[in-house]
Amino acid sequence: MRLESERYFRYFTHIKPVVKLPIVRTYGTAIFTILVMIVFILFAIKPTIETIVVLQKKLENANQILDQLKKKATDLTLGKQNYENLNPNIKTRIQTAIPDTVELKSLIQTLELMASKNEASISALQVQPLVLEVKKEDTIGTLGEIEFTFNIENSYPRLVSLLQELNTSVRLISIDSLNISKVGEGEGLIMSLSGKAYFIK
């Protein structure tokens, strides 16, 4: 207890002469008031400044998104104009390649016709289950897929010819996987392919 009182007494003896200085007596209160005000202002302004910085960042991001949307709208308008200026024959070919309905019957007929032209026998043609939705008016369609498996049997040259026809088919067809295996003795081969046809849904 005595040590503490001695320490405080020592501080007091050092501070007391400073407090008695004429400059400190004249301007001390004003300086202390200004310092307290500065501290309070800093604490009051800091959250406001942080909020302003965050809002400016959000505004910059929103402006970037707006610019991107404007560019996309311009590109879509330009794309629509280009599509409308296309030759009617090209438009028909595009609509045939990617119809705006499933047109499952035409896909099956196309595959059967190709097999028939190349004298290949179809051992299996399976279409994967498909969920059909009612089309909404005035909406931009999205690309839908019809997945199918197609097994045909013939000689190697005929199978290659059929693949080339699939590649140049009026209906857009992509092949995901292809497997060729030998059937017994002789030149007979069985080709199993998995593919997709597309439509606008």
pLDDT digits over 55-92, tens only? 999 999 999 999 999 999 999 888 888 878 888 888 88
CATH number of the domain bearing residue 170 = 3.30.70.60
Q: Are 12 and 79 found together in one domain?
A: yes
Total domains present in the chain:
2
CA distance 31 to 24: 9
Q: What is the dihedral sign for C-alpha 68, 70, 73, 79?
A: negative
- Domain assignment present for residue 22? The answer is yes
pLDDT at position 40 is: 77
Between CA 87 and CA 93 the distance in angstroms is 10
Residues 133 and 47 both lie in one domain: no
Task: Report pTM.
Answer: 0.56
Task: Indicate if 38 and 121 belong to the same structural domain.
Answer: no
In a domain, 91, yes or no: no
Residues 111 and 170 in one domain: yes
Residue 190 in contact with residue 166, Cβ under 8 Å? Answer: no
Considering the domain architecture, whether residues 54 and 79 belong to the same structural domain is answered as yes
Distance (Å, whole) CA 165 – CA 168: 5
Q: How confident is the model at residue 33 (pLDDT cuts 50, 70, 90)?
A: confident
In a domain, 92, yes or no: no
pLDDT band at 1 (very low <50, low <70, confident <90, very high): very low
> Among 142, 154, 147, which residue's Cα sits nearest to residue 180?
154
Quick check: 183 and 155 in contact, CB under 8 A? no
Range in 56-65, 80-89, 127-136, 167-176 the model is least confident about: 127-136
Q: Is residue 192 part of a domain?
A: yes
Check pLDDT > 50 for residue 6: yes
Which domain, by its residues, includes 163? 97-200
Cα distances (Å, whole numbers) of residue 2 to 10, 12, 15, 105, 144 = 12, 15, 20, 106, 90
Q: Are residues 44 and 105 in the same domain?
A: no
For residue 87, the model assigns a pLDDT of 85
Longest dimension (CA), the chain: 120
